[in-house]
C-alpha cells in the first residue's frame, strides 16, 4: 500500500460534466455543468434586453408533500428542481432544464417530468 492510497479520490460526476462557478446576477454561483453556466449567461442577457423577466435559478416544485406513514415514519416530500424559471414576453412561465441526451433518459428525471406534467407544468429541455 502506497502512502497516497488513503487519500480519497475526487468523485467523478455520473455524466462526466464539471461544476463551474461564474458571476450570475452579480453573485458567484456554482452550476452543475459548463453548458448550464453558458445557458445562465444567455438567459441573463435576454433578461437585460427585456426579452424575458423574473429569471430564477434552482426553483423547487413540490410534486408530493411529505407525510407520516402508518408506522409514524416521516416520508420526505418529492421535489423537482428546475435549472431556470422565467416569464417570456407573453407572460407565460417557462420552466427550463439543460439536459444532455443521456440525462434525458434518466428514469428519475423522466418520472418527475411526468409528475410535473400532471400538475400542469411543462419542462422545456435545452
Give the fold, CATH level 3, of 20-125. Answer: Trna Endonuclease; Chain: A, domain 1 (3.40.1350)
| CA 125 from centre of chain | 11
pLDDT value of residue 2: 54
Q: Provide the residue-wise pLDDT of the chain in tens; the chain has 126 residues.
A: 555 555 555 555 666 778 999 999 999 999 999 999 999 999 999 999 999 999 999 999 999 999 999 999 999 999 999 999 999 999 999 999 999 998 899 999 999 999 999 999 999 999
pLDDT in tens, 10-29: 555 666 778 999 999 999 99
Cα gap 120→35, rounded to integer Å: 27
Which residue is it, cell 440525462?
103
pLDDT value of residue 17: 79
Which residue is it, cell 427550463?
96
* Three-class secondary structure of residue 70 per DSSP: coil
Percentages (nearest 5) of helix, strand, coil residues in the chain: 25, 35, 40
What is the value of pTM for the model shown?
0.83
Amino acid at each position: 500500500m502506497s502512502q497516497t492510497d488513503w487519500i480519497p479520490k475526487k468523485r467523478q460526476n455520473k455524466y462526466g460534466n464539471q461544476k463551474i462557478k461564474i458571476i450570475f446576477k452579480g453573485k458567484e454561483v456554482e452550476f452543475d455543468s459548463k453548458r448550464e453556466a453558458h445557458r445562465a449567461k444567455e438567459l441573463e442577457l435576454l433578461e437585460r434586453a427585456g426579452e424575458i423577466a423574473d429569471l430564477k435559478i434552482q426553483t423547487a416544485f413540490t410534486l408530493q408533500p411529505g407525510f407520516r406513514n402508518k408506522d409514524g415514519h416521516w416520508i420526505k416530500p418529492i421535489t423537482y428542481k428546475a435549472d431556470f424559471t422565467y416569464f417570456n414576453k407573453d407572460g407565460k412561465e417557462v420552466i427550463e432544464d439543460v439536459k444532455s441526451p443521456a440525462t434525458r433518459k434518466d428514469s428519475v428525471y423522466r418520472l418527475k417530468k411526468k409528475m410535473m406534467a400532471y400538475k400542469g407544468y411543462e419542462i422545456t429541455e435545452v
